[in-house]
């Protein structure tokens, strides 16, 4: 049987055979599913420690060659999130250079350690300190971090970010981020587990002001190989997201898929998702989402993944009518040569808003281009557009806000001294809103330096 490559976890999920890693892009339909559904599940500090202990315990009996779990990723709320570098300026974790194969990590038994450090300097205008209040500021951010490896298939990653603003209209902040992820197999079973915590205080497009956010998340997934073509995959998620002075939400959800691999290059799946959302103010809600998915790789240079369904969302109080919305996600990747890659993605989602008794329907697309230059430089360019429509979840509340956001970003980077990366970056973004005070135009230019042990 031809190998079905999973280029994120280096694992053939149908043959359960380790394979060679070719690129850091995700080509596995199951990993794409995992990336789409892992986003935000709240766990207490005690639960997080239990997950850490479970990771070590599971690793002890993991089979040789078991795959690491895919990287957790939340729902696409790019243009509702950080206005400063929030569209697609690389995060500190991504900015740090990849660990060199020649550099061994610090090792204590099953536990390995790789420290890293990132520094970012930005100068930007049009950044909102409040609705209708656009400021110019210099931003210095330093982000030290520690990446722990637990055996071969589990990681624990902690990063702190201290941010300084030259403009006193903004508060200096100290943010934290913690991620635990891992996975293992046992006979025909595949297990995955991830948990994360983050706290940040950044200017948000949605709120129009520097907003303190806290998110706890966890995801547990189980997959079973019925035979060489059929794979059953189910996951349970829990997300708790809060924003100071705004509405907080807590969501429980499940997503179940039955995959059928027609050929090694073509996979199909049918699924069903359901969830419940409790909010601190406004109407709680439930939703169901029947959906389908196809993953197709006609050649080694082209990959296509499409997922779509109909979401039926019911509001448990407030008198608002049920909301029936098509939801979808699609991505295309084209890599004509090893040094060049093109990407395109589109999605439509529904998510709770930070504003009382409102939800957001987001429709958008992104396009990207990556090119290696002169063997030592890497150029990344991205475009994006997103339309956010705010809808009321209570009969007595009138929403009506519509935002149209456009963005462009570019990043030129190189690696020096083997473990050090340096990059120049630029971003321009614009948000047009029918609600006064939430429109802006912003340009940001900066420099970034990263180091990884």
**Distance (Å, rounded) from C-alpha 123 to C-alpha 140?**
9
**Distance (Å, rounded) from C-alpha 21 to C-alpha 25?**
10
For range 271-284, the mean pLDDT: 95
Task: Provide the pLDDT confidence category of residue 123 given band limits of 50, 70 and 90.
Answer: very high
Q: What percent of the chain has pLDDT over 90?
A: 70
Interior/surface letters 257-280, b for 16+ CB within 10 angstroms, e for the rest? bebebeeeeebebebebebebbbe
pLDDT at 366 exceeding the cut of 50: yes
**Distance (Å, rounded) from C-alpha 103 to C-alpha 110?**
17
**Distance (Å, rounded) from C-alpha 66 to C-alpha 152?**
9
pLDDT at 173 exceeding the cut of 90: yes
For range 159-166, the mean pLDDT: 97
pLDDT at 22 exceeding the cut of 90: no
pLDDT at 170 exceeding the cut of 80: yes
Find the length of the chain.
453
Q: What percent of the chain has pLDDT over 70?
A: 78
Query: What pLDDT score was predicted for residue 76?
Result: 41
pLDDT at 32 exceeding the cut of 60: no
Query: What pLDDT score was predicted for residue 139?
Result: 97
Interior/surface letters 28-57, b for 16+ CB within 10 angstroms, e for the rest? bbbbbbbbbbbbbbbbeeeebeebbebbee
**Distance (Å, rounded) from C-alpha 80 to C-alpha 342?**
25
- What is the rounded radius of gyration, in angstroms, for the C-alpha atoms of the chain? 22
Q: What fold is seen in the domain 11-452?
A: Porin (2.40.160)
94: left (phi over 0), alpha (psi -120 to 50) or beta: alpha
Query: What pLDDT score was predicted for residue 352?
Result: 94
Query: What pLDDT score was predicted for residue 327?
Result: 96
pLDDT at 102 exceeding the cut of 90: no
Please state, rounded to an integer, the average pLDDT across all residues of the chain.
83
- Residue-wise pLDDT tens digits, 125-140: 999 999 999 999 999 9
Task: Provide the pLDDT confidence category of residue 267 given band limits of 50, 70 and 90.
Answer: very high
- Enumerate the domain spans of the chain: 11-452
């Amino acid at each position: 049987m031809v190998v079905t490559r999973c280029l994120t976890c280096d694992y053939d999920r149908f043959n359960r055979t380790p394979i060679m890693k070719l690129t850091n892009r995700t080509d596995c339909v199951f990993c794409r599913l995992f990336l789409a559904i892992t986003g935000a599940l709240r766990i207490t500090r005690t639960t997080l420690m239990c997950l850490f202990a479970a990771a070590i315990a599971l690793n002890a009996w993991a089979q040789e060659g078991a795959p690491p779990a895919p990287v957790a990723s939340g729902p696409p709320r790019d243009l509702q999130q950080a206005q400063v570098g929030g569209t697609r300026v690389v995060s500190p974790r991504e900015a740090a250079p990849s660990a060199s194969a020649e550099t061994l990590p610090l090792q204590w038994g099953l536990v390995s350690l790789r420290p890293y450090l990132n520094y970012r300097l930005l100068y930007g205008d049009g950044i909102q300190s409040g609705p209708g209040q656009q400021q110019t500021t210099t931003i210095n951010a330093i982000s030290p971090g520690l990446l722990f490896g637990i055996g071969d298939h589990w990681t624990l990653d902690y990063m702190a970010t201290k941010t300084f603003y030259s403009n006193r209209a903004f508060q200096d902040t100290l943010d934290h981020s913690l991620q635990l992820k891992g996975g293992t197999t046992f006979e025909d079973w595949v297990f995955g587990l991830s948990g994360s915590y983050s706290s940040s205080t950044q200017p948000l497009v949605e709120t129009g002001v520097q907003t303190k956010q806290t998110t706890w998340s966890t995801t547990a997934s189980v997959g079973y190989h019925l035979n060489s073509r059929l794979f059953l995959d189910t996951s349970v998620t829990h997300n708790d997201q809060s924003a100071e002075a705004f509405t907080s939400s807590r969501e429980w959800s499940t997503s179940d898929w039955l995959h059928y691999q027609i050929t090694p290059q073509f996979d199909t799946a049918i699924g069903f998702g359901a969830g419940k959302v409790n909010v601190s103010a406004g109407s709680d809600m439930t939703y169901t989402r029947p959906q389908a998915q196809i993953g197709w790789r006609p050649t080694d240079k082209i990959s296509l993944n499409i997922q779509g369904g109909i979401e039926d969302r019911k509001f448990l109080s407030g008198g608002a009518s049920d909301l029936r919305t098509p939801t979808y996600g699609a991505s295309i990747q084209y890599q004509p040569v090893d040094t060049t890659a093109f990407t395109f993605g589109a999605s439509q989602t529904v998510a709770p808003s930070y504003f009382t008794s409102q939800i957001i329907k987001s429709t958008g697309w992104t396009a990207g281009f990556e090119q290696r230059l002169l063997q030592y430089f890497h150029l990344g360019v991205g475009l994006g557009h997103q339309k956010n429509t705010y809808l009321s979840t209570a009969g007595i509340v009138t929403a009506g806000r519509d935002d149209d956001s456009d963005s462009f970003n570019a990043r030129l980077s190189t690696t020096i001294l083997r473990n050090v990366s340096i990059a120049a970056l630029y971003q321009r973004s614009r948000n047009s809103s029918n609600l006064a005070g939430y429109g802006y135009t912003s340009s940001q230019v900066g420099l970034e330096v990263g180091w990884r042990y």
